Amino acid sequence: MYLCGHGGFHLWFRAKWIGDVARAHASGILDWRTAWDEARRSDQQNVLLVGLSLLQLLYGLPVPNLPGDTAKDMPQPLIEIPLHALHDSAVPKYSTDLANLLYRLRVNRYQHALRPRKTWGDSWSEIFHSREDFRTLPLPDSFFWAYRPLRPVLWLWRWFQQMRRRALHHGS
């Protein structure tokens, strides 16, 4: 569960993560039934199913029999997005360009499908997250909580600053 959860969170963009799962699966040390029971308890069935589907697609490993026909219900982007990320393994650069915003929206949809209990508010807040926020608006530790509701505002600030830099660059 941990390996599938970690790989899934990062869209499986490092082949090593699915390789670790494949090695453990091929050695026979994994108890998929117990993993499935834990996944159901923690509402992470899709996390486990994506890992198993990637094992089958990338390594041709047999998928264990799990209760019901669960793989049929899995949203297709849960497989397509990790396959694309594995193919283009460069870590995406996060900036305020429209293309990157669209990429973040796509990843957000993937993350929400992967873990349906995640609230949409949390998902939207993550789209606008940037480490640069802490430099843009340094707040005391007691106000650390304020960064989360300010993320869209700080994102707009970064976008305006980027547009201003581009205009100055093109004007010189």
**Number of neighbouring beta carbons within 10 Å of residue 92:** 14
Instruction: For residue 89, report the phi and psi dihedrals to the nearest 5 degrees.
Output: -80, 5
Taking only the tens place, the pLDDT of each residue in 90-110 is: 655 555 577 777 777 777 778
Residue 77 to residue 2: CA distance in whole angstroms: 21
**Where in the chain are the domains?**
2-72, 98-171
- pLDDT at residue 127 greater than cutoff 80: no
Q: From 105, 8, 111, 117, select the one nearest 53 (Cα to Cα).
A: 8
Show Cβ contacts of residue 145 under 8 Å, excluding neighbours closer than 6 positions. Answer: none
pLDDT confidence bin for 158, thresholds 50/70/90? confident
